[in-house]
Amino acid sequence: MGKVKEKSGPLARRPDNSAFKQQRLPAWSPMLTANTVLPFFYFMALICLLLGVWLLLTVQSTQEIKLDYTEAGTCDICFEKRKNVSNADQPCTCTVMFPVEKALKGDVFFYYGLRNFHQNLRRYMDSRDDGQMVGRLTRLKSPSTYCQPFLNDHKGRPIAPCGAVANSMFNDSFTLTYHSPKGRTAPVPLLRKGITWYTDKNIKYRNPRKENLTLAEVFEGTAKPPYWKNHVYELDTHDPNNNGFINDDLIIWMREAAFPNFKKLYGVLYRSNQPFTKGLPVGNYSIDISYNFPTKYFRGRKEVVLTTLTWFGGQNHFLPIAYLVTSSLIFLLAVLLTVFWWKYGKNGKNMEE
């Protein structure tokens, strides 16, 4: 039997004679005409307008109170005191008064905010050891070199948690008090646990473990970050289960903000007892602040934010305004196209005539 002669040359590279490879499949080519394009533009403008108005009404249904306490009330004394580095270890407390003229109904969220603090710098964001924060014992004693210059203390001991992000953790604390119109005072209860993301609390951050050893014994031989007052296993003196790398305040701070002006959750109103079962009632309030975090070095400001939330979040007008602006631009473009079509194309004329 003779051998089958193999194809060679251009014929060997020719695609098979099929409808798919020879591009003979049926296709649909849209014919863009004024009767199809213009209604689509008007429809999209209407959809964006409705979405923008809906989101704007949703955002405006939230209530928000912002209070800059950098130098407010008696905090001006603490502000001047924190300008001097030698006074960093000296405690300073101050009080700020503010009114609530309209009751904040429902769940009320207490945030602290910073302005002009850039957590989004690449070198700052890299200065951490996620392997250490997930509870690896090897990283506890030998952190990543990304943590420089907050890798070891002056005695050579590894810092836990290491890095610039953990070292700059916000450390002001707040006590909110309600002063009713009848002259009574009551502390406002805030839930300080369970305010982190579930994945952060249960997966991304874990404490290192050794059998039959306490948390303090596990961290023995490590040093606290230079700007911290307490060790990582002493962050919460009221709840030992909220210490170490699973401390809620630490976890919230370690999630870096994308912009220089940001706020982070401090607590949620606990609505179990009167007069807070329906939210924050009308009256005067005072905030006792343990003033520790300095702002002079980065020319920043500090604030507290009390707000209610909807399914859309807090008072963020960016997306509603973006939809309204987009709707206006699409509508303007549709009107211009309609004018050109009416003048040049409606009666079969063209632009060259």
The encoded tokens of residue 122 equal 């690449």
Residue 256 vs residue 314, higher pLDDT: 256
Strand order in the sheet with 185-187: 93-100, 283-290, 173-179, 185-187
CA–CA separation, 155 and 170 (whole Å): 25
Q: Which residue has the tokens 């409705």?
A: 50
Given a contact cutoff of 8 angstroms between Cβ atoms, the answer to whether 187 and 147 are in contact is no
Mean pLDDT of 16-30: 83
In this prediction the pTM is: 0.82
Cα dihedral 185, 191, 192, 194 in deg (nearest 10): 180
CA–CA separation, 38 and 338 (whole Å): 7
The encoded tokens of residue 204 equal 């991304």
CA–CA separation, 110 and 67 (whole Å): 11
The DSSP code sequence of 62-118 is S-EEEEE-SSSTTHHHHHHHTTSGGGTTS--EEEEEEEESS-EES--EEEEEEES--
* DSSP designation for 193: S
Mean pLDDT of 202-228: 91
* Beta pairing, strands 262-269 & 109-115: antiparallel
Beta-strand runs (E) in 116-261: 173-179, 185-187, 190-191
Given this model, what pLDDT does residue 240 score?
87
Mean pLDDT of 200-223: 91
Q: Per-residue confidence at 127, pLDDT binned at 50, 70, 90?
A: very high
User: How would you class 102 by CB atoms within 10 Å of its CB: exposed for 0-12, middle for 13-18, buried for 19 or more?
Assistant: exposed
Residue 20: pLDDT over 80: yes
The encoded tokens of residue 255 equal 């999630």
Relative orientation angle of helices 34-60 and 318-340, to the nearest 10 degrees: 160
Which residue type does 340 have? F
CA–CA separation, 37 and 249 (whole Å): 53
CA–CA separation, 185 and 175 (whole Å): 13
Integer angstrom CA distances of residue 254 from 132, 163, 164, 181, 218: 13, 11, 10, 40, 22
| pLDDT 10s digits, 32-62 | 788 888 999 999 999 999 999 999 999 998 9
Residue 183: pLDDT over 60: yes
Given this model, what pLDDT does residue 143 score?
93
The encoded tokens of residue 258 equal 């994308």
Bridge partners (DSSP) listed for residue 114: 262, 302
CA–CA separation, 197 and 248 (whole Å): 9
Query: Domain coordinates of the chain in residue numbers?
Result: 36-62+316-353, 64-309
Work out the end-to-end distance of the chain between its first and last CA atoms, rounded to an integer number of angstroms: 74
| pLDDT 10s digits, 152-177 | 999 999 999 999 999 999 999 999 99
CA–CA separation, 301 and 208 (whole Å): 36
Count of C-beta atoms within a 10 Å radius of residue 307: 19
Integer angstrom CA distances of residue 10 from 17, 262, 271: 15, 64, 80
